[in-house]
Amino acid sequence: MSLAQIIEEIPKLTHSERREIFLQVMSFEPEADDVAICDHVAREGFALLDEMEATDSANG
């Protein structure tokens, strides 16, 4: 599977699935501070994505 295909599939995942992928990817990073910063940014991004998905669902 190519990187483009993986990225295309990410929005189709649940919040929990996206979170797990994020944590797995970040586990490869050696710097804990970097991981914490990325974790914070990802939480905000995932929350925004969830809001967008909810809006799309509500609008049919």
> What are the residue boundaries of the structural domains of the chain, listed by start?
31-60
CA distances from 48 to 23, 27, 29 (A): 18, 23, 24
Answer yes or no: are the C-beta atoms of 33 and 53 closer than 8 Å: no
- Tens of pLDDT, residue by residue, the chain (60 residues): 899 999 999 999 999 999 889 888 877 877 767 777 877 888 899 899 999 999 988 887
Query: Dihedral sign, CA of 37, 39, 45, 51?
Result: negative
> Measuring CA to CA, which residue among 22, 18, 20 is closest to residue 10?
18
Determine if the pTM surpasses 0.85.
Answer: no
